[in-house]
Structure 1
Amino acid sequence: MSPVVRSLEPTAAGLGLRRALLGPLQGAAPGDFDFLECAPDNWIGVGGRFGAALRELSARHPLVCHGLSLSLGSTDPLDDTYLARLRRFLDEHRVPVFSEHLSYCSDGGQLYDLLPIPFTEEAVFHVAGRIRQVQDALGRRIAVENISYYAAPFQAMAEIDFINAVLAEADCDLLLDVNNVFVNAINHRYDPHAFLRGLPGGRIAYFHIAGHYDEAEDLKVDTHGAPVKPDVFALLDEACSLFGPRPTLLERDFNFPPYAELVAELGQVRTVLQRHAPAGSRHVRA
């Protein structure tokens, strides 16, 4: 089994470990962030100064991992060699949570996109079986993320029912991306508040929150390249009200603002989380 890992407080607020941010993250003041998240696909086997920076950061801060390439919904065989390397990486860095997208990104080769799985009973059993294989290979439970999607290839059931069925059948956890709930609710005309209420709160490992692009009043694009919108912060507040605070990752993949602005935005995340923390656990940061 995996070695002892560091746990995350429910009110922990984290930033994505991106190479463009390595300098500021390494020089960060205590309390700027509580944890970091990286895509292991981009770091496994990396040496030199980048590998040294990763080891130094993961020694000082809890590191969670969010995968990009397992392609849980695909019919391609799972890559056993990659899974073995991934397990060693997670163990080496004492990763408390590993997550992947509830999607597929391969079909006889990499497609370089996260594509939606048809919402069917057959797909539930298929993807749940692959999640169980991954959990066995990694020696740990994993979390799957609700993705943003713009075309629905086939929907025999609602998105919320599909997600809940996969979680139950695979006996895995959920990475709840609050921005994806908001984007999908606008694009596919459903109620985001009802969606949140339908989730199994006990399975939520942590939250993602991110910015998106307003293409039109009825079309939102999940970009991770802009500040978080007020409506998404409001939905995070509602999620915390329903489920209690959970560790929350502020995603930013490009168009990086000055580091101080990221830290200030992370402060907004903390404000929401602390609002819902039990009274005895609330604290003020310097």
Structure 2
Amino acid sequence: MKKLLLLFIVLTLNSVQAQEVKTLTYFQNDTLKLDLDLYLPKKKAGEKIPLIMFAFGGGFSGGERTSEKDFGKFMSQNGYAVASISYSLYMKGKDFGCKGTLTEKIKAIQIGVSDMWQATAFLIENADKYNLDTSKIFISGISAGAEIGFHASFWDYKLMNLYKSNLPENFKYKGFIGGSGAIQDINLITKEKAIPMLLAHGSNDDTVPYAAGSHRSCPTNASGWLILFGSYAVYNQMKDLHKDIELITFCGGGHEFSGYLFHEGQQYVLDFVNDVLKEKKFESHLIQPPKKGKGSGGYLFCE
């Protein structure tokens, strides 16, 4: 009898936290169809739901939007909507490394960013239908997706957008959550454009630089040489601007930590968006992630 009662309680709690997942097409033409998965929390009467846009990783040549569905479910169970988008994999079948073409690498980022802007504009246009709060839209991503997030937040929308989608005048994301991402020009992050950030990065990442460095650690004479400013460079820029940023650094860690915030570190994301929406002012600082057990292969925290 007790077991049946416990089962009933568990099922009831799951029902209370039940969320809805909708697959929506946000762009389509004769050659391309782009979808997003919208994770929605249980609707509360009269309440507008904050939204987190998400872009997966994969070097602009692979990956899929369903890869982080656990993150979408976690955030929706805690009252947030998550839109995990598909975007154009421009580098599929091309070299995104040192022997690639610089202009192609930049174009891949620009197309991905334009897709993100399109998806954002689509959900803003349909906000009433899904009960979304358009004043509380965060952006997030892993690796290539984090590069989309960085540039979507700080590039000039009117100058860099490749499509005709329309974001509201002076649109600004509420905050950015990025795993092992980077931006091409650190000077794009200004006092006027800065938004709160939560970042995570391995200090020895040889794919996307932790500080300032070349993408894929390419030598300067490589055809695909691209300078990038990673999470630690962004941290210092934000600190100099006296703007809010939290950075989780894995000392000695590589690119394998790019998904940390969306896997083991989901609670960090939840706390971050809660704090931003409460307008909590926090000092820019580095965070020590929970230590793993002896022999687990975990990395120590470092500054």
Q: What's the TM-score, normalizing by structure 1?
A: 0.38
Where relative contact order (Cα < 8 A, 6+ residues apart) is larger, the structure is 1
Rg bigger for which structure? 2
Q: Comparing both structures, which one devotes a greater share of its residues to helix?
A: 1
Q: What's the TM-score, normalizing by structure 2?
A: 0.37
